Structure 1
Amino acid sequence: MIEYIYKRYTNSFHVTIDSRNVKAGSIFFALKGEYNDGNAFAAEALKNGAALAIIDNPNYLTKGCVLVDNSLQTLQKLAYYHRQRLNANIFAITGSNGKTTTKELMFVVLSKKYKTKATIGNLNNHIGVPLTLLSLTPEVEFAIVEMGANHPGDINELCRIAEPDFGLITNIGKAHLEGFGGFEGVKNTKGELYKFLVSKKGTIFYNHQNSILVDLLNRYEAQNAIPYSNFVDDCIIDETNTNPFLSLTIKEKENKVGIQTNLVGNYNVENVMAAYAVGRFFGVDITSIIDAIESYVPSNNRSQLIKTQNNTVIMDAYNANPTSMENALKNLAKLNASKKVVILGEMLELGEYSADEHKKIVELACKMNFDKIILVGKGFANINSKFHYFDSALECVDYLKHNPLANATVLVKGSRGVKLEQVINAL
């Protein structure tokens, strides 16, 4: 069955799980979601030009459909089957913070020399990784595959589908604690990438300054591990820089290069180091690496600097956990700005750790003497603080409309589910 589906797939090298996104010759996979059953859209996908519709409900069987036991498992099997036939180098990235930014930086760097593709957006789970692999055409030389995890075993599962040749963990912090049962669970799950690469004799890149990653490498007795220090003798942040963007100097043996990024936050330095080291390892010349990093502009509410009519906004509302929240607050505290305001959304998926972690963030913010602190979301509800609190982003928007901010540098940081991006129009 997989051989048949694969043969049809190679006519277009395009699969989709959205009947509205069908191209001529696409393979449509009917997946069951939280609100919709993809089987119900199989006929529409075929009408829109799909070559096949993969379904797992016989009630929707019609001409052009292939009935399987499980559409998702078939998608994953097809991706694995395709992976075995690819000549591309597969580079896996995971981590608690910075994996998407690192992926994007690596993509622009490696694209200077190779035909490169990378995970689009945040398609980094058990559905997204197969879709990424199936987007790879034969001429692709490098594929950068982002891998996310919410539970133990998730990274191992994704590795077994993608079979990466190379990989790195950006860092390991307090993210998705509810699903992992604590920090050790996070560490063990992210470490599944190291474990897989060691078993397959793949190559690991790592931040030599991160003791947690070094401990993991020692645990798995990694032999083929490349520290960033092979290419970065020293990385110096320009603390005299008065704008919010990260400016740094990388020293490498006799080379000394300055890089002015469009990334807000000094915590992005490890993401830049990763892209620089990987680029150098794969033979991208230094000038091209610098040009790629300096030209990259973040999007999708990730450390974006937005100038509104009244304020300067650091929009970082794509995701949040205790580690990234602490980094963002410390970065704002260092900025040279006369008026600083923070709008913090709750951090989701912390489970039993939620109350304690939200309290710690509020205590940290208290010490930083910001001009105003606004808290949004029920994670902050029971904290006895003097700050403005709102249950939802929309309530916060209403407050800001009646109490407008002006001439302020505003950090907007919170988990994606809080939808803090809604406040931008009120700033």
Structure 2
Amino acid sequence: MTVLASALIALGALIALGGASHLLLHVFQQEHYEARRLYLWIGQATAIRLALPEAGLVFVAAVATSLAGASNDAFGIVLAVALVAMTARAARVVWTREQIKPLVFTPRARRLFGLQLTVAALVLAIVVAVGGDQEWAPAVTGAVGALLLVVAPWLLGDVVNRMLRPVQQADNRRFVRRAEQRLRDVRPLVVGITGSYGKTTTKACVTAVLDLLGPAYPTPASFNSQLGVVRAINEGLLPTHQSFVVEMGAYRTGDVKELCDLVHPRVGVLTAIGPAHLERFGSLEVTEQAKGELADAIPAEGLFVTRADDERTLRVARTRAAGRVLLFAPAAHPEADLWAEDVRLQDGRTIFTLVLRTGERAEVRARLLGEHNVANLLAAAAVGVGQGLALADVARALGRVAPPDHRLSPIVNRAAGVVVIDDSYNANPEGAAAALGVLRDHPATRRLLVTPGMVELGEREREENRRLGELAAGVADVAVLIGPRGADVRDGMLAAGASADQLHHFPDGPSAHAKVAELTRAGDVVLFENDLPDVYA
């Protein structure tokens, strides 16, 4: 009977580990399977808080089972069965939790999850076999199960991930070879787009313009890592596509070069260099070096497009671009080849005059909200002009661009009389300030801000969130703030003179969103600014 009790305790530990591993794997996947990022998240968030109670439950129940079994085998078995039921219930809660960006059980995720549980099961099986009918066996089994729960993040990030690395590398090489062959067969005009922010919106704008030359294919959603781009090529690039517009994300020096070595862009667009993902890069100098890898890759007969009004992007253009360079600016600038004049919001559109250095002009009536989107539209216009398209045709194409999801997307509830501005994708200081400008300029009876603050800003994170609060104090009539970074935004609003009565702070997204539903009334405009910190919720 002691062996059965030990086996049941081992089963309870495995079920608890399955629950904890679901959350850990979710984070690991979102962080591109980087162990360092997983461990950083653990230090800041709730993974250990999830595992430790379950570990304690396994150990305490094991000791109780061992003691009960010493005098009454049947009672010990009942306790062990109760342990399995309780851990199963806890694991089910984790598996069925609401997920903003759900865990996807890709082949890689399945391998990681399965091998982690297999390793744990083998360890526990050995403990059960060695313990046999000894009275201490259930307690020792519980202790080992509890230890496996506590070390689960490192078991996943270091042990299991390293064991599977050769398999993953072989898979990657096969997918990359297939993508390279597809590119050779189709031979599209490849446009690479990188930058600290504005990449996805600029991608949509460039695609609309290049559709004038024939079907253009953009990398879907946020497929901006090497494997994401490889997948986009293998699953979506067709012989009919004349252009391939590639969003290039970067978290470290070398990421953009790796993508360029894969797709060989002939046109490059650098949208901006700023503090987004500063936590990963460490400094703006490193960010500049990393983003400038796109300029390095453009051939002499190619085209490089970037901002004229930023010293870092201008330096990249002047020192690292071998091909033709076109520079844009949101307003007239001595270095700019094209710029915008008379920018205004009207009838749910951003309207401006597109001006070339030659004096040619065209009106753009864009569906993208906000002056900051003018830069994204200008970047696409420069690509079109660089490919020889007529300015009037480019302007009309820009007017057809729809806002990408969760990037200042207006949602109008006419029945309730409420307008929601959804800017919930990965805020950065410049983008958040621009979004507040849209909220400020939008007609409204009241203006509400909902935000968990900004992340991945390294040592500047608290400072930038307080600054966001200072800006918000002059715009928002009501603010619903979420989590520790939201508290920094609140502090900034209070410091700038906002009334405490207009500020509401909550620990998580669901409770904050419930408050928003309670607060809103006809005439309100609600800005949702960044939802990234809740992506694992």
TM-score, normalisation: structure 1? 0.77
The aligned residue for residue 270 of structure 1 is 375
Bigger helix share = 2
Q: Deviations over 1:245-297 (max 9, x none)?
A: 31111123453322211111110001111112211222333343233221222
Q: Deviations over 1:15-50 (max 9, x none)?
A: xxxxxxxxxxxxxxx7413886699xxxxxxxxxxx
The aligned residue for residue 399 of structure 1 is 515
- Inter-partner Cα distance in structure 2 for 1:141 and 1:342: 42
Q: Deviations over 1:399-423 (max 9, x none)?
A: 1233333311221111434369x9x
The aligned residue for residue 179 of structure 1 is 280
Quote how far apart the aligned CAs of 1:164 are: 1.1
Quote how far apart the aligned CAs of 1:194 are: 1.2
Name the amino acid aligned to 1:402. Answer: E
C-alpha contact (below 8 Å) 2:451/2:530 kept by paired residues: yes
- Inter-partner Cα distance in structure 2 for 1:69 and 1:122: 22
1:144 aligns with 2:251: no
Task: Decide which of 261, 266, 275 is 2:366's aligned counterpart.
Answer: 261
Q: 1:69 to 1:97 in 2, by over 3 A?
A: closer
Q: Secondary structure of the equivalent of 1:219?
A: helix
Quote how far apart the aligned CAs of 1:189 are: 1.2
C-alpha contact (below 8 Å) 2:436/2:475 kept by paired residues: no
Q: 1:36 to 1:244 in 2, by over 3 A?
A: farther
The aligned residue for residue 330 of structure 1 is 437
Task: Decide which of 333, 350, 357 is 2:457's aligned counterpart.
Answer: 350
Name the amino acid aligned to 2:109. Answer: G
Q: 1:415 to 1:397 in 2, by over 3 A?
A: closer
Matches within 5 A, 1:26-105: 31-33=107-109, 70-105=170-205
Task: Decide which of 355, 375, 379 is 2:485's aligned counterpart.
Answer: 379
- Inter-partner Cα distance in structure 1 for 2:361 and 2:321: 33
The aligned residue for residue 169 of structure 1 is 270
- Inter-partner Cα distance in structure 1 for 2:114 and 2:404: 30
Q: 1:119 to 1:326 in 2, by over 3 A?
A: same
- Inter-partner Cα distance in structure 1 for 2:172 and 2:237: 19
Q: 1:197 to 1:126 in 2, by over 3 A?
A: same
The aligned residue for residue 86 of structure 2 is none
Cα RMSD after superposing both structures:
3.2
C-alpha contact (below 8 Å) 2:449/2:526 kept by paired residues: yes
Q: Secondary structure of the equivalent of 2:191?
A: strand
Name the amino acid aligned to 2:260. Answer: C
TM-score, normalisation: structure 2? 0.62
C-alpha contact (below 8 Å) 1:206/1:228 kept by paired residues: yes
- Inter-partner Cα distance in structure 2 for 1:294 and 1:221: 30
Q: Deviations over 1:41-85 (max 9, x none)?
A: xxxxxxxxxxxxxxxx9xxxxxxxxx8852123322332343344
- Inter-partner Cα distance in structure 1 for 2:112 and 2:521: 41
C-alpha contact (below 8 Å) 2:193/2:199 kept by paired residues: yes
Gaps in structure 2 of 5+ consecutive residues: 1-105, 116-160, 162-166, 330-334, 495-499
Quote how far apart the aligned CAs of 1:222 are: 3.7
Query: Is the deviation greater in 172-181 or in 406-415?
Result: 406-415
- Inter-partner Cα distance in structure 1 for 2:282 and 2:110: 24
Matches within 5 A, 1:4-19: none
C-alpha contact (below 8 Å) 1:232/1:250 kept by paired residues: no
Task: Decide which of 216, 225, 228 is 1:125's aligned counterpart.
Answer: 225
Could you tell me the percent identity over the aligned residues?
26
